Structure 1
Protein backbone atom coordinates (compact mmCIF):
# COMPACT_ATOMS: atom_id res chain seq x y z
CA UNK A 1 0.00 0.00 0.00
CA UNK A 2 1.33 3.43 -0.93
CA UNK A 3 1.79 6.01 1.82
CA UNK A 4 1.87 9.77 1.15
CA UNK A 5 3.78 11.67 3.87
CA UNK A 6 3.94 15.46 4.16
CA UNK A 7 6.91 16.94 6.02
CA UNK A 8 5.55 20.49 6.01
CA UNK A 9 2.22 22.15 5.17
CA UNK A 10 1.63 22.26 1.41
CA UNK A 11 -1.32 23.63 -0.55
CA UNK A 12 -1.26 21.18 -3.46
CA UNK A 13 -3.62 23.43 -5.46
CA UNK A 14 -0.92 26.11 -5.56
CA UNK A 15 2.01 23.94 -6.63
CA UNK A 16 3.54 24.67 -10.00
CA UNK A 17 5.25 22.30 -12.37
CA UNK A 18 8.96 22.70 -12.95
CA UNK A 19 11.59 21.31 -15.28
CA UNK A 20 15.01 20.10 -14.27
CA UNK A 21 17.94 18.00 -15.34
CA UNK A 22 19.10 14.55 -14.29
CA UNK A 23 21.76 14.87 -11.60
CA UNK A 24 21.93 11.18 -10.70
CA UNK A 25 20.98 8.00 -12.53
CA UNK A 26 22.15 4.91 -10.66
CA UNK A 27 20.71 1.42 -10.22
CA UNK A 28 18.94 2.59 -7.02
CA UNK A 29 18.14 6.27 -7.57
CA UNK A 30 17.22 8.82 -10.22
CA UNK A 31 17.34 12.46 -9.14
CA UNK A 32 16.11 15.45 -11.12
CA UNK A 33 17.16 18.92 -9.94
CA UNK A 34 16.80 22.51 -11.08
CA UNK A 35 18.74 25.72 -10.47
CA UNK A 36 16.25 26.89 -7.81
CA UNK A 37 17.24 24.12 -5.37
CA UNK A 38 14.30 21.81 -6.10
CA UNK A 39 14.85 18.09 -6.52
CA UNK A 40 12.75 15.04 -7.23
CA UNK A 41 14.17 11.71 -6.11
CA UNK A 42 12.92 8.41 -7.56
CA UNK A 43 14.12 5.36 -5.60
CA UNK A 44 13.89 1.79 -6.75
CA UNK A 45 15.69 -0.82 -8.77
CA UNK A 46 16.57 0.49 -12.24
CA UNK A 47 18.34 -0.92 -15.28
CA UNK A 48 19.89 1.00 -18.16
CA UNK A 49 21.10 0.38 -21.70
CA UNK A 50 22.95 3.02 -23.72
CA UNK A 51 22.28 5.64 -21.00
CA UNK A 52 18.52 5.05 -21.20
CA UNK A 53 16.21 3.62 -18.54
CA UNK A 54 15.00 0.27 -19.89
CA UNK A 55 13.62 -1.55 -16.86
CA UNK A 56 13.06 -1.70 -13.17
CA UNK A 57 10.61 -0.88 -10.41
CA UNK A 58 9.89 2.44 -8.68
CA UNK A 59 9.50 2.04 -4.91
CA UNK A 60 9.36 5.64 -3.65
CA UNK A 61 9.38 9.30 -4.66
CA UNK A 62 10.50 12.31 -2.61
CA UNK A 63 10.40 16.00 -3.47
CA UNK A 64 12.67 18.51 -1.72
CA UNK A 65 13.91 22.08 -1.86
CA UNK A 66 17.44 22.83 -0.68
CA UNK A 67 17.63 19.36 0.91
CA UNK A 68 14.47 19.96 2.96
CA UNK A 69 11.84 17.34 2.16
CA UNK A 70 8.35 18.51 1.19
CA UNK A 71 6.67 15.13 0.80
CA UNK A 72 7.31 11.52 -0.08
CA UNK A 73 5.35 8.63 -1.49
CA UNK A 74 6.51 5.20 -0.31
CA UNK A 75 5.24 1.66 -0.71
CA UNK A 76 5.09 1.88 -4.50
CA UNK A 77 5.67 -0.96 -6.92
CA UNK A 78 5.44 0.67 -10.34
CA UNK A 79 7.10 -0.07 -13.66
CA UNK A 80 9.95 2.42 -13.94
CA UNK A 81 9.59 2.51 -17.73
CA UNK A 82 5.84 3.17 -17.50
CA UNK A 83 6.45 6.04 -15.05
CA UNK A 84 9.19 7.46 -17.31
CA UNK A 85 6.90 7.31 -20.35
CA UNK A 86 4.05 8.93 -18.42
CA UNK A 87 6.25 11.78 -17.19
CA UNK A 88 7.76 12.32 -20.66
CA UNK A 89 4.30 12.34 -22.27
CA UNK A 90 3.62 15.74 -20.74
CA UNK A 91 0.49 14.47 -18.97
CA UNK A 92 2.27 14.08 -15.64
CA UNK A 93 4.22 16.94 -14.16
CA UNK A 94 6.75 17.19 -11.39
CA UNK A 95 5.03 19.45 -8.89
Structure 2
Protein backbone atom coordinates (compact mmCIF):
# COMPACT_ATOMS: atom_id res chain seq x y z
CA UNK A 1 0.00 0.00 0.00
CA UNK A 2 2.84 2.40 0.80
CA UNK A 3 4.33 2.35 -2.73
CA UNK A 4 0.91 3.27 -4.15
CA UNK A 5 0.49 6.13 -1.68
CA UNK A 6 4.00 7.47 -2.30
CA UNK A 7 3.49 7.09 -6.07
CA UNK A 8 0.28 9.10 -5.82
CA UNK A 9 2.05 11.80 -3.82
CA UNK A 10 4.76 11.99 -6.49
CA UNK A 11 2.14 12.40 -9.19
CA UNK A 12 0.65 15.42 -7.47
CA UNK A 13 4.08 16.92 -6.90
CA UNK A 14 4.78 16.04 -3.29
CA UNK A 15 8.29 14.74 -2.66
CA UNK A 16 8.65 11.30 -1.07
CA UNK A 17 10.45 12.81 1.91
CA UNK A 18 7.31 14.73 2.81
CA UNK A 19 5.47 11.42 2.73
CA UNK A 20 7.48 10.41 5.76
CA UNK A 21 5.59 13.07 7.72
CA UNK A 22 2.58 10.78 7.51
CA UNK A 23 4.31 8.65 10.14
CA UNK A 24 3.97 11.34 12.80
CA UNK A 25 0.24 10.84 13.51
CA UNK A 26 0.77 7.07 13.56
CA UNK A 27 3.64 7.36 16.03
CA UNK A 28 1.62 9.76 18.18
CA UNK A 29 -1.28 7.29 18.24
CA UNK A 30 1.03 4.49 19.33
CA UNK A 31 2.51 6.70 22.03
CA UNK A 32 -0.96 7.57 23.33
CA UNK A 33 -2.15 3.97 23.23
CA UNK A 34 0.84 2.71 25.23
CA UNK A 35 1.50 5.69 27.48
CA UNK A 36 0.82 3.69 30.65
CA UNK A 37 2.87 0.66 29.72
CA UNK A 38 6.13 0.53 31.63
CA UNK A 39 8.91 -1.82 30.69
CA UNK A 40 10.38 -3.94 33.45
CA UNK A 41 13.82 -2.69 34.40
CA UNK A 42 15.83 -5.89 34.48
CA UNK A 43 19.32 -4.54 33.85
CA UNK A 44 21.58 -6.37 36.22
CA UNK A 45 18.78 -7.77 38.33
CA UNK A 46 19.31 -11.36 37.28
CA UNK A 47 22.01 -13.35 35.56
CA UNK A 48 21.18 -15.72 32.75
CA UNK A 49 23.62 -18.38 31.59
CA UNK A 50 24.16 -18.26 27.83
CA UNK A 51 25.43 -21.23 25.89
CA UNK A 52 27.88 -19.70 23.42
CA UNK A 53 28.57 -22.98 21.67
CA UNK A 54 25.38 -22.79 19.61
CA UNK A 55 25.23 -20.78 16.40
CA UNK A 56 22.44 -19.21 14.45
CA UNK A 57 20.84 -21.44 11.78
CA UNK A 58 21.98 -21.31 8.16
CA UNK A 59 18.62 -19.91 7.06
CA UNK A 60 19.30 -16.83 9.20
CA UNK A 61 22.66 -16.21 7.54
CA UNK A 62 21.24 -16.85 4.06
CA UNK A 63 18.53 -14.27 4.70
CA UNK A 64 21.12 -11.72 5.83
CA UNK A 65 23.30 -12.46 2.79
CA UNK A 66 20.36 -11.86 0.45
CA UNK A 67 19.39 -8.67 2.27
CA UNK A 68 22.92 -7.25 2.19
CA UNK A 69 23.43 -8.25 -1.44
CA UNK A 70 20.20 -6.57 -2.52
CA UNK A 71 20.98 -3.43 -0.51
CA UNK A 72 24.49 -3.15 -1.89
CA UNK A 73 23.37 -3.66 -5.48
CA UNK A 74 20.62 -1.10 -5.04
CA UNK A 75 22.90 1.54 -3.52
CA UNK A 76 25.83 0.96 -5.86
CA UNK A 77 23.97 1.36 -9.17
CA UNK A 78 25.61 4.42 -10.78
CA UNK A 79 22.89 4.75 -13.43
CA UNK A 80 19.99 4.74 -11.00
CA UNK A 81 20.51 8.32 -9.83
CA UNK A 82 18.04 10.10 -7.60
CA UNK A 83 14.35 9.27 -7.60
CA UNK A 84 12.43 11.11 -10.31
CA UNK A 85 10.08 13.84 -9.17
CA UNK A 86 6.77 14.64 -10.76
CA UNK A 87 6.62 17.68 -12.97
CA UNK A 88 3.49 19.76 -13.16
CA UNK A 89 2.48 22.07 -15.92
TM-score normalised per structure 2: 0.22
Bigger radius of gyration: 2
TM-score normalised per structure 1: 0.21
Larger % of strand: which?
1
Larger % of helix: which?
2
